[in-house]
Amino acid sequence: MDKPILNIAFHGFWDTDAIIYEHYFKNSHRFLWKKWDVNLVSDPALADVLFCSVFGQGNLPITQASKILLIHENIPPQAAWFDAFDYVISFALNMTHRPNHFRIPYWAYRFYEHDLTLDKLQNRAHHKKPEPGNIIYNRRFCNFVYSNPFAFRREFAHTLSTYKQVDFGGKVDTNIPDHERAEITPSLLGSAGLKQKTDWLNKYKFTITFENSSTEGYTTEKILDAFVGNSVPLYWGNLRIKQDGFNPKAFLNYFDSLRNEIFIQRIKEVDETPQQYFDMISEPVFLNPPDYINADYMVKLYDDMINRRIAKVLTYGTR
């Protein structure tokens, strides 16, 4: 049986519609294809759904499409946006007073970009035994891959380097050879580029996964990329990251220490104690996997958004 066609359009994204669609949206929203044949249209008037970014607030096109604002940046939703858009999807907590808001932090879309299964992240006990010469334990120490020179995480990485060398693989303070940096600066877009990155992370016992700011609820792709790369995340950012279901035994959280010297001492302890390291890297990533990494849940959510908007148009006319 043929699937129904879902026509979508974009507004205000950072690249051309074709690049966003082919290399990012098809991956981050791959769950949509379970129900629909998704088709990109250039004219928003022909779309069933208009996806918008926070950078495209001005001059919203006139359309009967369901207008969905995707907030993947650390920008809290503004009150006016709940009138301008039919639905707002963001990282923000405590928005139950906004019935057209749904909390789906960016890292959850990254789960689909990686084309992950929950089983892959949960069943990691095969790393358990710290046998002599085990390649998992005897990898390089730690990496730091960033382009934004946010001072706090940069300074932390340099402080950690006084214990053991941290390899800087991004645009900030690069200290690895050019040919190797090409491995971590993907030449490929979409899923292929992500695989380049996580293959490189897999060379390291630890990955610094500090956000560029600390906001409750705001968790990006960084921690998930480290888990996919089979590297223990060293995390700072979302004070409530455990609320997203992540297992606190599977990563090291700066907020459990609150000072550089205490956090680094904890890293040293895990690094120098093989059994502690293997216990940590063998833990399931989630204690309570959130609903939004279930593709069927996401299909139902988007289906409800689209159908509710259609019902509203039929009943009340366009806004």
Kindly report the average pLDDT of the chain as a whole number. Answer: 90
Mean per-residue pLDDT for 141-156?
91
Bridging pattern class, strands 66-70 and 87-90: parallel
d(CA 304, CA 310): 10
- Which backbone phi and psi does 2 adopt, to 5 degrees? -70, 145
pLDDT attached to residue 116: 94
Contact 227, 244 (CB under 8 A): no
pLDDT in tens, 308-318: 765 444 333 33
d(CA 113, CA 111): 6
Contact 56, 15 (CB under 8 A): no
Q: Which two tokens stand for residue 293?
A: 């990494």
pLDDT in tens, 122-143: 998 765 566 656 778 889 999 9
pLDDT attached to residue 317: 36
pLDDT attached to residue 181: 80
pLDDT in tens, 194-218: 888 899 999 999 999 999 999 999 9
215 CA to centre of own chain: 15
Enumerate domains of the chain plus CATH numbers: 5-105+293-316 (3.40.50.11650), 124-282 (3.40.50.11660)
